[in-house]
Amino acid sequence: DTAVSQTPKYLVTQMGNDKSIKCEQNLGHDTMYWYKQDSKKFLKIMFSYNNKELIINETVPNRFSPKSPDKAHLNLHINSLELGDSAVYFCASSQEPQGATDTQYFGPGTRLTVL
């Protein structure tokens, strides 16, 4: 019973392509997040959604578009992939919208490699 799941686990693609990463949580949480972890292991918030509504967009290029069809899912679509997009992308969820005070549960990560 995986609490937060992501697909795919690995994604290798060419520059300029468009790709999507899917995330699902079965914890009944109201808030979901996308983080990017670069090669130096720095984990940085990208987006936060609460009950399908966008709360945070941390100066992420508009090539990245999150979509939340329902509160259990938060997918990430990336257009026109660039070399600098290579990273591990983590999805996470928490019960409360104030993610600062509530434990976040992370998915296993998607390692994206752009060639």
Partner 1 sequence: GQNIDQPTEMTATEGAIVQINCTYQTSGFNGLFWYQQHAGEAPTFLSYNVLDGLEEKGRFSSFLSRSKGYSYLLLKELQMKDSASYLCAVANQAGTALIFGKGTTLSVSS
Binding site for partner 1 (CB under 8 A): 4, 33, 40-45, 48, 55-56, 58, 90, 97-101, 103-109
Min CB(37)–partner 1 separation in Å: 9
Residue placing its CB nearer to partner 1 in the complex, 15 or 43:
43
Residue with tokens 């409360």: 96
Residue placing its CB nearer to partner 1 in the complex, 64 or 105:
105
Give a three-class secondary structure readout of the chain: CCCEEEECCEEEECCCCCEEEEEEECCCCCEEEEEEECCCCCEEEEEEEECCEEEEECCCCCCEEEEEEECCEEEEEECCCCHHHCEEEEEEEECCCCCCCCCCEECCCEEEEEC
Structure tokens at 12: 């290798």
Residue placing its CB nearer to partner 1 in the complex, 62 or 101:
101
Residue placing its CB nearer to partner 1 in the complex, 14 or 112:
112
Min CB(74)–partner 1 separation in Å: 14
Min CB(17)–partner 1 separation in Å: 25
Min CB(44)–partner 1 separation in Å: 7
